[in-house]
Amino acid sequence: MQRLVNEKDHVVEDMLEGYVQAKSYIEYGGSEKRVVKYTDIPQGKVGLVSGGGSGHEPAFLGYIGKNMLDAVAIGEVFSSPTANAFLDAFREANHENGVACLFGNYAGDNMNVKMAKAMAEDEGIQVRYVTANDDISSSPKETKEKRHGIAGGVYMWKIAGAAAAQGADLDEVCRIAEKTVEHTRSICIGLAPCTIPDVGHPNFTIQEGTYEFGIGHHGEPGMDIRPMASAKEIAGEMMNAIHEDYELMEGDEVSIIVSGLGATPLMEQYILYKEAVDWLKERGIRIHHPLVGNYVTSLDMNGAAITVLKLDEELKKLLDVPAICAAFQFI
């Protein structure tokens, strides 16, 4: 494995040092250098916190910024931040009107957020949390509360961030976040596995001439393994899966993210996007404010995620609120 790292056991610390040095609006928070925060959090605003394992950049660091997240807790590669890191993030984001913690629905994150919430409330900090569960491959519709959050978290942060910036209280911010989650669906495909720096080799395999349909962001097995096909065929299968889970109707308006998983060339991401949009247009579905690029990755995995958010007037208005962070600019 050839990688631009120093000590393999310190890749997260080294990444964070570089990130903080590169972004003038970011600084460390807490005592263990596992929390980073926005330097210009407006007084009186509901605080927005997220966090998760490293290796998914620009998530979660890249979504700190104006009208976006206020603080994030950072874990080891593909591992949850500690409860103390989440607690430090709550402290940094709190400006007396409570904190909304918006994160992906993974077991370690759930456990540590709940522990941190209890500790924060002992200190008088009101905390509520909302989990993204947009990954349709991670659990059936009948148990969608068990689904994981992947690129759909981007919409949750963007829209809840806009609500908080406009003065919504904690209950309203969480209501908007929950509504966004309910309207969002994602599916991933994997073409080649990723390599965790500490391991030095892929922790799973994808055979040449095949792809994994519905793969998880940590290499969790997907729905099935399929023969390699054209971008048009793969996009069609991905959109069909989303449509079967959450029916899209003629006249609907959606926002769509095509996110690479770390090693997917932008050229191929735009090809996949074109085919997904053709699928939508053929069915009379309008597209609003699409995103194509690396928004939630999985180290150096080759593959892509498609995320669809079905819009209504409330969600569309909040999606359009200007926001600036490292991962994107909504202007």
pLDDT one-digit tens code per residue, 223-235? 899 999 999 999 9
Query: Which DSSP helix (H) or strand (E) runs through 128?
Result: strand 127-132
Rounded to an integer, the average pLDDT of 310-326 is: 98
Q: If residue 164 lies in a helix (H) or strand (E), which one and from where to where?
A: helix 152-165
pLDDT at 8: 87
pLDDT surpasses 90 at 3: no
> How far is Cα 86 from Cα 37, in angstroms, rounded to an integer?
12
Instruction: Summarize pLDDT for 21-57 with one digit per residue, the tens.
Output: 999 999 999 888 999 999 999 999 999 999 999 999 9
**Residues assigned a catalytic role:** 56, 218
In the block, residue with structure tokens 């990688």:
3
In the predicted structure, residue 203 carries a pLDDT above the cut 80: no
- Asked whether 36 and 64 are in contact (CB, 8 A), the reply is yes
- pLDDT over 90 at 200, yes or no: no
Q: How many Cβ atoms are within 10 Å of 277's Cβ, its own excluded? A: 17
Residue among 303, 258, 301, 302 at smallest CA distance from 279: 258
